Every structure is written in structure tokens, then in C-alpha cells.
Structure 1
Amino acid sequence: MINNLIICHLNKSPKCDVPHFELVQETQWGLGWIWEMKCTKCKFISEKYKLFREINTGRPGRKSATINYGFQTGVINCNIGNDSARLLLTSSCIPPMSKGTMQRITNNFCDKVVKLAENETEQVVENFRRRNQTLGLNKNSPVKLQMDGTYQSVHIKSRHKMGQNASQAIGIACENETDNHDIIGFHLVNKLCWVGAWLRGKGYDVECPNHEYCTANTNRYDPLSEKDLGYEIGKKKWPNLIYLWTIVLLMGMQKNVQGLQEAMQEIFDPLWSVNRLADTIHRGQSQFREVLRAKFSVGMFPGATKAQRNDIKIAFANDLKLRSHGIMKSLFAKYNGDRQQISKCLPRIVKSVVNCYSGNCSDTCRWSITLCNGGIKTSWWNKSINLSSHGLQNGSLKPNKTDKLLIESLLEMKLSQTALNQMQFFSNTNKCESVNRTISTYLPKNKIFHAMP
């Protein structure tokens, strides 16, 4: 800008040897500025300089500034909204753009993000089809899927107030065929509508979502349902995506399964069924809770007080959960997921683990996959963090016959033929849950910062 300004001044006012420039007018264009300069020694007035790059839209009229869209890119990828972003700019002595301009840019930018996400989903589908053809399968072969849902609330219900303590529900579906676990399904149930709330406050008889400029897609009195999330995800008819919903596996909530199955029956076949398998992580958490509920004998755990025995019981519950998961993981790695080979080993492994906890680990542990080699330094008692942190050694636990049967039943929650059939792919919904946590973290949050005393 400065070089162009000096050249223009030299061409129009050649007699003004030493110019002195001042700012005549400045115009704000979002976060960008337009300057107009003049020379105080002569009558030279420059053209208007845009201190930002423009987005070439190919249409007539004023062009948008790249800085405005770039700033909006950062806003939607962090946990602040437009109001908090304007407060941040004002606190930094940067004049913010108006609320209307910022909201308009947000709407345009979010529409482009939605289109980009749909294009990426189509690309994921095409990659699946090429992968199936490479493996010699039908390009529309069924796929494994993991699903999970989240609400805009920590506690979905309350003892003191009627109704659900949430206004949004989000359902995520990820493929479970590759290590990437790409997102191939998404649905948002939203009750929030500022326009509808404002009109109702003015006395108008307006109900969402049946009015103009409504952002809600369900009535504010309707309950949020996981079944509806699964149904809407199954009914998504994006380009080239309809054949992918030939689902054979779903690891997640049972209500999602019912909704997805209804969608599949409407699209493909009334007799279509969706199989729900267990999540290894959730099964381990259930196993941990069952150990805490179990009624062991008084002399099972060492400790002088009840509090000490409860601490050791919690450590034992964690240890049993982690050991069961490690054993199953080792079996899947050794036999490459062959369930017939794995099922033959499970009864012997359960007996060996019970003997190990009973103090007889050297007899059978070294001959089966129990994560214990039966020695002193190589035993599970020495390797386990939960047991060693509480000073437990081989023989510290004193289970009687009833306790041994109880431990065996707890192990069979994950180490049995029934559990193996329910966890036949040994996978989980961690990707869906991480996406849900990310979404809840990056949702706009208006915060008020109080002044320091």
C-alpha cells in the first residue's frame, strides 16, 4: 500500500517533494479496514485501500474479507460463541464486527462445513466399496457399526423437576471396519429456537418447528429418544450412502438398535434384523460394579477394619476387570480372532485364574494364558498395579468355596462362550464417545467473567 501511495502521489503531485500523509477516512469491513489517505502539503487524496484479502465469489457486489471467514473458522472450532468472541475482541481493544454480520457469516460458513462433511462422508463410502471389491466382496456388503448418543446435560433427569434436563441430543455412527473408525452417520435433535422463544414472549401463538426461520427440529415438549436417533441415522439418504446402511453389527445402546432396525425394515426388508453386540469397555465396567456388589466372605480380604477391606475389594475389582480384558485381548491376538480356538481355552483359563487368586498360581498359570507365569517376579501378583499398591502378595486373599464360585461367575462375564459371542469382534464405542465429548466441549458457551476485587 505505501509503495503504491507514494507512486500515485508522485504522478499526481510532482511538485510536492516531501509528502506528509494522514488518514482521511477509515471504514470497517468486519475485522478488516479500508483506508483513504491524503497529503497535508498538497491536495492529493489517495484511492481507498483495502487492508485485507477478498474472497473471489464470481458474483457482482462487495466481496467478503478472508479475515472474517478465517476468524469464524477459529470460533466454531473452540468452546466460545459469537458473543464471547466479540467480548474477547473488545477486551483486546479490537473493534468487533456487529452481531448481525457475525451471525450471517456464521450461517454461511456452517452451511459450507455441512457440505464439506457430506462430501467427506461420500468419499468414505466410496473407499468402503473399493475396499470390498479388493477383498472380493460385493461392493454393497454389510458393515460393522458403532453408535452412541449424548445429551446436552450432565444429568438427564431430576427428582425435583418434571421432564428431561436437556434440550439437545446428538447421535453418532462410526464404521467399525477400519482403524480410522470414520464417522458415517450423524443426527442432531434440537429444541432450541431463539426466534420462536422471542415470538412467544411477544404474545404470538407460535410452535416450533413449524414457523419461518426456526432452528428447532422437534417440539419443545417432546421427549428426547435414543430410539429416534437411531431411526433418523438409518433414514439418512445422502448421495451414494443408502446401500451402506446394510448394518449387521451395532455396539451401543439398545434403543439405538431398535430405531436403526425399524429404519432398515422400511428401506430394505420387513424381516431385516440388526444385531447388537457388547462393548468391551462397558462390559468391563459392568464387571467392576458386579464385583463391588458381590457378597464375599468376611475373611476373603485382609484388613483390620471394614474400610481397609473395602479398599482392597475395590482394588480387587479393578484388577479382575483389567486382567479379564488383558486375557481376552491376548487370546484374540494369539488366535487371530478365531472364536472356536478361543472358546476351547476359556474354561481352563477361568479355573487357572481362580486358583491364582486363591494362592496356587504356580500350578496352572504357566500352562495357560492368564497373564501370570507362576514365578516370583513373573507372577501376576508382582505385575499387577492394583494388587501390589495395596501390599497384596500370593496367598493374601483367603477365598472359601463359595468365594471361588463367585469369582468364577464374575470372570465368566467376560471369559465365557456367551460373552465371547456377545463380544465376537472385541471392539468398543470409544470413537463415538470421543466425538460426543468433543462436540460437548466445543459447543458455544457464554461465560461472564467477574471483575477482580
Structure 2
Amino acid sequence: MWNSVFREHQRLHPNCNGFLQWNMEREEKFGFVNREEAMCDKCTYRSRKFKLYEEVQTKKPGRKAAKINVSAQAALSQTPLGYTGLRKIVLGCNMPAPSTSGLQKRANKVLPEILIAINTLRGRKDPGSVSLQADGAYNNAIYSGIGKTPFQPATQVVYSVAEAETEDKSIIGVVCKNKLCSVHPIKSGEKCTSACSSNLTFMKSIGDEYTWAKEALQDLASDGIEAKHLTTDPDSSAYRAADDLYLENTTSTEPEHFLDTRHFLNNHRKNIKNDKELGEIMPGRTKKRP
């Protein structure tokens, strides 16, 4: 790289005796790597931008990912270390650390690719058709407001989709929804913008798992991942989202629905306790004899 820059600078400005250096104002950083441009401290010479990294060769159009960025995500998927911990280690070594959002964006692409590669090595004819598990987590239990308020008590939800192909059960898809905004309180009546933390209106149901699942599955479908088997709660409508995507020809794999045994048993136990007719069908002693 520097040899070509020296020759080009000498050819364009033969009488210049300035020093060549990086133009830090024109630096482009992508995770752990960057693109640099050389400049002369005396003349107006500016070189083209050079990629100081090796790319992953794929047949897909667009910018190719850097090998070190992909390798870092592959290593993170096998360790309990998070992005914050990784950035602390890198900064502690006096090196520029990638942003958290950049790491998350790359992880959203790398983890599905790892899953497809695993199924390819297993000899699957369709490595993108995988078994998935999906469920939503709320900051407040939705049922906790029954009989207390007409509104849903939850204001934040994280809907996660995990693969069920490996022992790790890695999360490969996440949808986050938030009704809270510190910039535009509810009483102000102002509408939130894209810069606000809130991405959901208060009129929208926070427990609409059909919409959250459909958004997550569509995102996975764009990366080549489709639900062959989908495990959800018995009371969840997430499976209908996967089925509708298949009927809409968004995905080519017809999903098969499985129920989560833990939630299924809990719901079954509650139904038995609440069924008063069972006491008449199978009467039993509820008190000890004197």
C-alpha cells in the first residue's frame, strides 16, 4: 500500500518533499477494522482509501464483511462474555473498541450464518430450515393488572427467537418494543420521533406476540433462516405469524407447531384447580377426620 502511495505522490508532485501520513478526518471504521486515506502534509495530495483488512468472500452483493469482525462474533457466541465486557478488555489494551450497536448489528448477521454452516456440515438439504423457540419477556407481568387497571401493566417487551439445533440454544433474533419516553411524557401529548427511546404508542397492545414474532421471523427470513419447527407458549399466537408468512409466500418452509412443555403443564395445572366440576366427578377428602 505505502509503496503505491509513494510512487503516486512522486509522480503527481515530483517537487514535493513533504511527509505522507494518515488523514484521520477521512477515516472510516467498521468494528475492529477501518479504511484509511494517505495525505501529504505540504501539498494537496490525497490517495484513494485502502482497506486495512481481509474480507469474507461471498456471492452476495454489497460490502463484504471483515474477517476479524466475523471471527469476533463467532468467538463471542461460544463464551459468556457480552459486548460491554469485550469493549472494556479492548479499551484496557489501549486499542479503539467497536461500538455496541456495531457489534450487535454484525451479530445479527453472523449467528444465522453460523447456524446455516452447521446444518450444511450435517448434510441438510435445506440448511436454512431450522427448529426455533420463541417467547416474550416483559418488564411487568401482563396478568398482574387483572382487576386493578384497564391498561396493560407492561411497558417494555423483548421478544426473543432462539435456535433449537444446537445445545447452546443461541438467540438469533430479538425484537424490542418500548412505550416509555423521557423526552415526550404521556401528559405532554407530543408524538415521539425516531430519535426517542419509545418505538411503540400507548394505544398498541404490548402483548401482541403475533406482531413481534412476525417481525422477528421476517428479519430471520432475510438472512436465510426459516422456521421448520416452532416451539411457543400454548397461549401465544406466534405460530400463526410463522404460518401466515408461509401462506403469504414470504417463506418457503411450512412450519410445524410445538408447545412448550413447561408452560403447557402450568396452564394445565391451573385449569384443573379452577375447574369446580372436577370436585363432583372425583370427590376426595379435604379435611382430616376428627
* TM class by smaller structure: 0.5 to 0.7
Contact kept, 8 Å, 1:261 with 1:272, in 2: the verdict is no
Q: Which residue pairs with 1:281 in the alignment?
A: 262
Give the AA of the match of 1:298: G
Q: Would you say the 8 A contact 2:158–2:177 is kept in 1?
A: yes
1:276-316 Cα shifts (integer Å, max 9, x gaps): 212222233345446655433436x9x7259xxxxxxxxxx
Whole-angstrom distance in 2 between the partners of 1:191 and 1:197: 10
What is the CA–CA distance in structure 1 between the aligned matches of 2:152 and 2:240, rounded to whole Å?
A: 21
Q: Distance in 1 between matches of 2:181 and 2:267?
A: 39
Alignment match, 1:243:
224
**Alignment partners' CA distance in 1, 2:25 and 2:249:** 42
Cα separation, partners in 2 of 1:115 and 1:279, compared to 1, 3 Å: same
1:177 aligns with 2:161: no
Match of 1:218 in 2: 200
Q: Secondary structure at the match of 1:243?
A: coil
User: Which amino acid letter does the alignment assign opposite residue 215 of structure 2?
Assistant: E
1:87-119 Cα deviation digits (max 9, x unpaired): xxxxxxxxxxxxxxxxxxxxxx9x922321332
* Structure 1: unaligned runs, 5 residues or longer: 1-57, 61-71, 78-108, 307-453
2:182 is the counterpart of 1:194 = yes
Shift of 1:123: 2.7
CA distance change for structure 1 residues 264 and 191 in 2, over 3 Å: closer, same or farther?
farther
* Amino acid in the other structure paired with 1:126: E
User: What's the CA shift for 1:152?
Assistant: 1.9
1:252 aligns to 2:221 (yes or no): no
Per the normalisation by structure 1, the TM-score is 0.37
Give the root-mean-square deviation of aligned CA atoms: 3.6
Residues 305-349 of structure 1: CA deviation (Å, up to 9, x unaligned): 59xxxxxxxxxxxxxxxxxxxxxxxxxxxxxxxxxxxxxxxxxxx
Task: Check if 1:206 corresponds to 2:183.
Answer: no
Equivalence for 2:213: 230
Write 1 or 2 for the structure with the bigger share of strand.
2
* Runs of 5+ unmatched residues, structure 2: 1-23, 27-82, 89-96
Q: Distance in 1 between matches of 2:142 and 2:217?
A: 27
SS at match of 2:230: strand
Deviations 1:24-50 (A, max 9, x none): xxxxxxxxxxxxxxxxxxxxxxxxxxx
* Distance verdict in 2 for CA 1:140–1:298, change over 3 Å: closer
- Give SS of 2:177's match: strand
Q: Which amino acid letter does the alignment assign opposite residue 279 of structure 1?
A: D
Structure 2: distance between partners of 1:286 and 1:191: 29
TM-score, scaled to structure 2 = 0.55
Q: Would the aligned equivalents of 2:112 and 2:223 in 1 still touch at CA under 8 Å?
A: no
Helix, strand or coil for the counterpart of 2:154? Answer: coil
Distance (Å, rounded) in 1 between the aligned partners of 2:111 and 2:134: 17
Match of 1:144 in 2: 131
Contact 2:137-2:159 within 8 A present in 1 as well: yes
Instruction: Specify the alignment match of 2:117 in structure 1.
Output: 130
Q: Which residue of 2 aligns with 1:165?
A: 153
Change (3 A) 1:287 1:195: closer
- Mapped partners of 2:115, 2:201: distance in 1: 37
Output the CA distance in 2 between the equivalents of 1:237 and 1:281.
26
With 144-153 and 260-269 compared, the bigger mean Cα shift is at: 260-269
- What SS does the aligned partner of 1:170 have? strand
SS in 2 for 1:132: helix
